[in-house]
Amino acid sequence: MALDSLTWTRVAEASMALGKLDQVCAQLPDPRLLIRPALFREALDTSALEGTVGVLRELLEAQFPSTQYLSPETKEISAYFDVAMTAFRIIRERRVSIGLLSELQDRLFRSTEDKPHDVGRPRAGLVWIGEKNRPIEEARFVPPPG
């Protein structure tokens, strides 16, 4: 399929913008400075989808070693953030695999009181997001089957 000249212009503009971004990122002492804020937002949004609501300020405060009290919600969202950061580090050395994903899931639920029964193993049945102990018909979200 041939692309028209406007599309090629946009591709060239996007390539230049990516080149500039790559150049700026290469000068950063720690590129994770850009990842961390986006990952905090992702952790909050993903957790909210599952019914765990957190506050960005509390999530940021949880990063300080001197923080004494963390709500259960903040602990859960912090665990999501920590596992994601661990995953970014690990995938530089290991390939993404079911084993790696199972290890990360196990780590995610390590400090959680209400763990799924199949933590650290691929799920054998349907998964849905909704209130605990409620049927799938009342779920907020049901992903399509594999």
Note the pLDDT tens digit of each residue in 7-27.
999 999 999 999 998 898 888
Tokens 């503009």 belong to: 13
For 129, phi then psi, to 5°, come to -110, 120
What pLDDT is stored for residue 100 in this prediction?
Answer: 93
pLDDT bucket at 123, cuts 50 / 70 / 90: confident
What pTM, to 2 d.p., does this model score?
Answer: 0.67
What pLDDT is stored for residue 113 in this prediction?
Answer: 74
Closest C-alpha to 122, from 100, 93, 92, 94:
100
What pLDDT is stored for residue 134 in this prediction?
Answer: 86
Question: Other C-beta atoms within 10 Å of 125: how many?
Answer: 5
What pLDDT is stored for residue 146 in this prediction?
Answer: 67
Q: Which residues contact 48 (CB under 8 A, 6 or more apart)?
A: 54
pLDDT bucket at 97, cuts 50 / 70 / 90: very high
Integer Cα distance of 109 and 76 in angstroms: 8
Integer Cα distance of 117 and 112 in angstroms: 12
Longest dimension (CA), the chain: 61
